[in-house]
Structure 1
Amino acid sequence: MENQKVTAADIEAALGEVYQPTVETVKPSRSWTWTIVGVVVLLSLGAVASLCFAWHFTKKHHDEPVRQQQSTTSTGKKPDIIHQNCLNHVAVDVYHMWARKTNKVSLSVVDVSGPQKMLTQIAKSTKAAIHLHASDRLPEKSSPRWMSDVDQSFTKGGLRLEDNSILIPHDGLYFVYSQASYKLFCKSNEEDNEEESSNIHLSYNIRWSSPTSPSKTKRFLLSGVKTMCQTKVEEQMNGHTVYDSIYLGAVFQLYKGDKLSTESNHLADIVGRSSKTFFGVFEL
């Protein structure tokens, strides 16, 4: 055999036939790109929706007082909107307490056209209740004269009217409420020549007394005050009549023999109509 020399070129050629490249260049997929873009778009839409909701909610609450003020000035009257809303909330809250305890029907079937009507309806469905009206007769020394079993007034379950006070028949949780409506004639204080008319301060209270209490003095259970005739002198040169009311209501733990009574100043200015001035208690 002839001697043959193996060169570097021959080795490269031999190895090239055995080892083949196994890694290929692959183009990047576009699916992940579109996924990221979609997520960014969704987050942007969510942020925009949140901003729109917050703007709408803020605008709604900002516009409500303006609408209430416009409705008040357009009619020339100043209804006690806050007082009426509070009274409605008290009546609704009491109804829910009563409904949960007695498993009665929902609020949707109850006539909520007026707080007094709702309270009267609840009272008639309880075990013990009383609802009194103010009499047109001369009032007591410091309180309206109350009467029962006339018009919508009634007594039930042991609660009764005694010495112009409500007598509690047994221990329990009771809702106590009352309203006094006033009709006043405002006039300017010409003697002092003041910028403002002479204010009239009204007070209306519900007092509590108990035979087991060491003190026989009637204590304040609920109290309300209000100032009337605050308009300027030039608006009432010939005087004018104003109407307003004070409402009281809350839940108390009362005991057998307790007595509840009312007290007010300006008794001669109290309107003695059944829907205007009333006093009541019902057991929860």
Structure 2
Amino acid sequence: MVAYTTAPGDVEMGPEERTVVLVEKKSSAVRIWKVSVALLIVALCIGGVLLFAWYWSGKLDITTQSGQREALIKSDTAEKTDPHYTLSRIGSKAKAAIHLEGNYEDCESSKHQLEWRNGQGQAFAQGGFKLVDNQIIIPQTGLYFVYSQASFRVSCSDGDEKGAGRRLMPLSHRIWRYSDSIGSRASLMSAVRSACQSTAQEDSDGDGKGWYNAIYLGAVFQLNKGDRLWTETNQLSELETDEGRTFFGVFAL
């Protein structure tokens, strides 16, 4: 907006000789408008920078979290491929559970039975379970998952002559139950494997240490308080009792 004003003339001149000069005067509103536009542009620039920084920060955070999740998933998947580890994790979350590791010493003083041990390796007991005389005592009446595994390594070579060896060695593993309501023992589960099915059979690992296999048993049963569970296994001298290979356990459902 433009305003005009008159410049004073020479006072000594007569009225007829005075000259009127128009001077352009800028309004203060123009300056205010320009300042406002400049501030708006600055604000837009700052907002754009902040938005750009927020976008890349969020994208970086998402990428980092995704990488961490992938690493955790890979680690968790590797652990869960081990059945022994999975059973231990499930049992540890149960209200009542017991998991035992097997041991056998082939000597004259041995009791000639697979000995179950608590507090060894991954073994534990909680929720009232007890190990008494190599038997698991059920704490309360209810549904339970009972499981056991026996691992064997058998040498199929039984002679010095070429082709000499064992034939069809039976390997068996069984879980027994005794209940006062029944008054006698009863077989819960059992399985049989045949090792050395032919004299030409090669070692399963190809390392000359023998034929390897495992018998796994597992199922759900209704058990009573005070019931006793134990195992029976043949070919004890062929058992593999390294940690995680031979075990026995129960957990409440």
**AA partner of residue 228 (structure 1):** A
CA distance in 1, matches of 2:201, 2:181: 55
Q: Is the 8 A contact 1:174 1:282 kept in 2?
A: yes
Q: Which residue matches 1:120?
A: 88
Do residues 243 (structure 1) and 212 (structure 2) align? yes
Q: Which residue matches 2:4?
A: none
CA distance in 2, matches of 1:110, 1:255: 37
CA distance in 1, matches of 2:134, 2:123: 14
Q: How do 1:147-226 residues align onto structure 2 when only pairs under 5 Å count? A: 147-187=117-157, 197-215=166-184, 218-226=185-193
Deviations 1:189-244 (A, max 9, x none): 899x99985220111000000123233xx2110001000011344868xx861111
Structure 2 CA distance for partners of 1:234 and 1:183, relative to 1, 3 Å: closer
Structure 2 CA distance for partners of 1:234 and 1:168, relative to 1, 3 Å: closer
CA distance in 2, matches of 1:128, 1:262: 20
Larger radius of gyration: 2
Q: Is the 8 A contact 2:163 2:199 kept in 1?
A: no
**AA partner of residue 235 (structure 2):** H
Do residues 260 (structure 1) and 245 (structure 2) align? no
Q: Which residue matches 1:45?
A: none
Structure 2 CA distance for partners of 1:195 and 1:255, relative to 1, 3 Å: same
Of the three residues 181, 196, 214, the one matched with 1:229 is 196
Q: Is the 8 A contact 2:96 2:129 kept in 1?
A: yes
Deviations 1:89-132 (A, max 9, x none): xxxxxxxxxxxxxxxxxxx9995221111111010011100000
**AA partner of residue 243 (structure 2):** S
CA distance in 1, matches of 2:211, 2:197: 10
CA distance in 2, matches of 1:157, 1:123: 11
Q: Is the 8 A contact 1:138 1:145 kept in 2?
A: no
TM-superposed deviation, 1:165: 0.6
CA distance in 2, matches of 1:152, 1:114: 13
Q: Tell me, which stretches of 5 or more residues in structure 2 are unaligned?
A: 1-75
TM value normalised by structure 1: 0.54
CA distance in 2, matches of 1:244, 1:177: 17
**AA partner of residue 231 (structure 1):** S
Aligned-CA RMSD value = 3.0
Q: How many residues align?
A: 172
Give the ranges of 4+ consecutive aligned residues of structure 1 lying more than 4 Å apart after TM superposition: 108-111, 138-142, 188-191, 193-197
CA distance in 2, matches of 1:240, 1:265: 20
Structure with greater proportional helix content: 1
CA distance in 2, matches of 1:212, 1:234: 47
TM value normalised by structure 2: 0.60
Q: Which residue matches 2:98?
A: 130
Percent of paired sites with the same residue: 41
Q: Is the 8 A contact 1:142 1:263 kept in 2?
A: no
Q: Which residue matches 1:68?
A: none
Deviations 1:32-69 (A, max 9, x none): xxxxxxxxxxxxxxxxxxxxxxxxxxxxxxxxxxxxxx
TM-superposed deviation, 1:135: 2.1
TM-superposed deviation, 1:141: 4.7
